[in-house]
Amino acid sequence: MTILAPSLLGADFRNLERDIKTVEEAGAGYLHLDVMDGAFVPSISFGMPVIASLRGCTNLLFDVHMMVEEPVRYVKDLRDAGADLICVHAEACRHLDSAIAQIRQTGAKAAVALNPATPVSAIDLVLPQVDMVLIMSVNPGFGGQKFIPYTVEKVRTLRNRVRSLGLSTDIQVDGGITPDNVEEVLDAGANVIVAGSSVFRGDAGANVKKFLEIFERAGKQDS
C-alpha cells in the first residue's frame, strides 16, 4: 500500500491542529515532521515540545525526519514526545549502526535518509536493520524546492536491492513531489510519499485526495 505523508513544514503554523485534522480526515497515513538544527541544514524548524503538543490532536503516525547532526542524542526524547518512526541521515551519524540500534531499542520504527549525492550503496550493510529508507529528492533544509530528477534512479536501485535481499523495506521520497511527478517515483518503487507545499498550498483536503487517487490508479496498473 502506498502512504501519503504530508510534511508539516508546508502547513500554516498558526493553524497546525486545523491543518493536521484536514489531512488526516482526507486519508493521509503519516505526518512527516521535519526537525532541523541549523547545523546539518541551514534552517531551524521545530523540536520536541511542538511534537509532544501535537501528539494529542491526531492519530496519524508521527514520521520524524531528523536533519540534525548526531541525532542519536535526541532519540529517547523524540520517542517520549510521541515519534513513531525516527529517521536519521546517514551523513549526520558518526556511528550509523549504533544510532539505528538505539532507535529500535525505544520501540520506534527506524529509518535512514540519504542526501541526493549520497549513493544507495552507503547503506548496504545496514539495510536489513531499518524499516524504511528515505531518498531525498532535494537537498534537505527547505520546503518548496524543485525535484532533482536523478534521484529517481536511486529509488529504482534501492527497490531492486531490497527485492533481491528478500526484504520488505519501505522506500520514502521527500522533496519537490507534486501530482505531476509522483507517478515517476511510484513506478521506480517508492511507497511512502512526502509532500509539503503540494499538499498545503490551496485546499489541503482536496490535494490529499488527488494524491490518493493517483496512488490508487498506479496500484491498479501494477496488479
28 binds, among ligand DX5, Zn ion, none (CB under 5 to 8 A by kind): none
HSE-CB at 152 with a 13 A cutoff on CA atoms is 14
Region from 32-40, 86-94, 150-158, 159-167 binding Zn ion, contact rule CB under 5 A: 32-40
Active-site annotation holder among 37, 131, 170, 174: 174
Residues 6 or more apart whose Cβ sits within 8 Å of residue 196:
6, 7, 8, 9, 10, 32, 143, 144
Sites for Zn ion among residues 120-179 (CB under 5 A): 174
Task: Give 101 or 116: the residue with its C-beta nearer to ligand DX5.
Answer: 116
| Closest alpha carbon to 46 in 22, 74, 85 | 74
Q: Which of 27, 197, 212, 218 binds ligand DX5 (CB under 6 A)?
A: 197
Containing H/E element for 208?
helix 204-222
Q: What angle do CA 170, 32, 97 make, to 5 degrees?
A: 50
Supply the minimum distance, in Å, between the C-beta of residue 88 and Zn ion. Answer: 12
Q: Which is nearer to Zn ion, 135 or 152 (CB)?
A: 135
The residue within the footprint of Zn ion, chosen from 26, 29, 51, 65 (CB under 5 A), is 65
Cell of 91: 551523513
**Residue 89 binding partner per list Zn ion, ligand DX5, none, with a CB distance cut-off of 5 to 8 Å that depends on partner kind:** none
